[in-house]
Amino acid sequence: MDLESLVKEGWQFSNLGCSSNTKFADSLDKFFFYFRCVNPRTENFCLSATFEVADASQADFQTGYGIMVADTVETPDKGSCHRNYAMVGRSRTLNGQNYGLQLRVVGGYTNPLAYARRRQRRLDPSRTFRMQPSEDSLKKGDRHHLRLIKTNEGLEASLITDSGVETIRFPGCDFLLRQDKSSVYVGFAVAGKIKLNLSDITFEKSAGVLSHTPEDAIRNFIPDYPFSREMLKDLDRKGIAKLSGQKLVVSATGDSLTLDAAIRMAGPGCEIVLKDGIYTAREAYYVPKSYSGTKRKPVILRAEHPGKAVLDGSAISVKLPAMTLRADWWVIEGLIFRGAPSSGLFICGSHNRVNNCDACWNGDTGILLCAFPGVSRKEWPNNNLIESCSSYCNCDTVRCNADGFGAKLSVGWRNVFRSCRAFNNIDDGFDLYTKQPLGPIGPVIFINCEAFSNGWLPDEPMPGRPARCGCGFKLGGEDVPVSHILIACSAHNNARIGFHRNTNPLSLLFGCKEWGNGPA
């Protein structure tokens, strides 16, 4: 049977305060839930079922499904979507699997109406089954038999296959009595645009007692973004002298000096000039903190002729940006960043200026401003200026994550975008997403920026509306208030809304215009 038929079989349904925009993510979950009530103080339960994927054509990395026990189904409004739960099923794991079979555990919430309070959520590191599908994909016909049991000792999540039963145990279950203190709710959860069929459903209750979850059982984990910090290593090497105030000329053929060598040689006041050509990176370019310039003597990296020097990341074998700028006081001018598996240019330093650059055909956000993975809040990037840049035709594998420009999750104060254009990116033109576990970012300023035709690539028709992706300016996320400022900006002909506050009530728009955009 399909999920909707469960209601006819006596299961209750809740959309848990969300519309069709459902997801399992590392900071927020919104899902459809078909459930029955259990008193955990006096009852145990056993729920099992076979899940079969009927349609996964629109699945993305936030799609997931499984058998869940949750602590509340309270839904006073759309903001009530924060709940403690344990789910055995398929969803993105924290160790990088897109559709891993796992026991997913979320704790820490205490508000009885399921509202979030800052940094309250605790997402446990992934508890994955040893038996995994041979391909890390979600496709029609996938079948998995899953079981979730509450015992007097805690929870047992099982994956049942022809070769046997694999079980993951979790101690206690009183972490599920933090919001609704009298009941838990067990049933079937699904998020993302996916269709499922269920069979072999069995549900039993028996006498039981409540068990205690140790304080350290749920270990809060915030994954690195946009890559694992272990993926990049400092490029300082012995025997490479730091120059000061010199001009270094680099050619695409590397006849005299390679770009990698020039970056390692350049000190404060140096100017690296790239001759015309395509610079194909075998490894991602990385500028460590120790390679910073100074306020009076910035390091300059520029094209000899603007738009004629291309940093091509298509040969990079791992999901890294073409260039990661962790240093401070750099100036980058006239370059094109294209074809990287991740972002074209990732800026995580401060006091940098990027001028007259393009980012295109990358596998994630074209130009991304965000903190380096794992650093403290005081090291979030600040005082960066992105000016007269264009970002276009960026598209990820699931066609819903790659933006034109991003300043999100972990950025500091006084970051400015001036006279930038974002168009034909598969997701948003400009993205300022925030997450509850990280708290607010610094206000970002936009002056005379333009977002248009986002949500599809230039050789494709405009997607049908309502579209999954494609806002002009996405101004927040997860009810985190930040006072962004937009002056004389425009958003037109995007697949979704032009200026989307996305639960952020504080953005200020002055003299901005929008037309021809889709709905929110």
Q: What is the pLDDT of residues 208-236, one digit of tens each?
A: 999 999 999 998 888 889 988 888 765 55
pLDDT of residue 193: 85
The contacts of residue 431 (CB under 8 Å, 6+ apart) are 365, 403, 405, 406, 407, 408, 471, 474
Question: What is the DSSP annotation of 507-518?
Answer: -EEES-EEES--
Please tell me if the domain spanning 3-207 has the same topology as the one spanning 229-515.
no
How is the chain split into domains, by residue range? 3-207, 229-515
Instruction: Give the per-residue pLDDT at 501.
Output: 94
297 included as an active-site residue: no
Where helices occur in 414-476 by DSSP H, the ranges are: none
Q: Output the pLDDT for position 479.
A: 87
Give the pLDDT confidence score for residue 239 in this predicted structure. Answer: 52
**Which residues 6+ apart lie within 8 Å of 290 measured at CB?**
234, 236, 327
Question: What is the pLDDT, as a whole number, of residue 242?
Answer: 79
In angstroms, rounded to a whole number, what is the distance separating the alpha carbons of residues 5 and 13?
A: 11
Coil/strand/helix, residue 377:
helix
Query: Cβ atoms within 10 A of the Cβ of 74, count?
Result: 17
Q: What are phi and psi of 187, to 5 degrees?
A: 175, -150
* Residue ranges of the chain whose pLDDT lies below 50: none
The pLDDT, as a whole number, for residue 236 is 54
Which pLDDT belongs to residue 18? 63
Residue recorded with tokens 């020039």: 262
Q: What are the CA-CA distances from residue 220 to residues 107, 155, 270, 450 (Å)?
A: 9, 19, 43, 39
Q: pLDDT value at position 31? A: 93
Annotated catalytic residue, options 23, 30, 193, 474: 474
**Per-residue model confidence (pLDDT) at position 378:** 95
pLDDT of residue 240: 65
Highest CATH level, class, for 3-207: mainly beta
Segment 93-129, tens digit of pLDDT: 988 889 999 999 999 999 888 887 777 899 999 999 9
Q: State the pLDDT at residue 113.
A: 85
Three-class SS state of 284: coil
Which contiguous run of DSSP H or E holds residue 364?
A: none
CB 402 within 8 A of CB 427: yes
Tell me the pTM. 0.91
The pLDDT tens digits of the residues spanning 324-351 come to 999 999 999 999 999 999 999 999 999 9
**Residue 108 to residue 22: CA distance in whole angstroms:** 21
Options 2.160.20.10, 3.30.1330.10, 3.90.1150.10, 3.30.465.10; which CATH number does 229-515 get? 2.160.20.10
What pLDDT, on the 0 to 100 scale, is given for residue 244?
A: 87
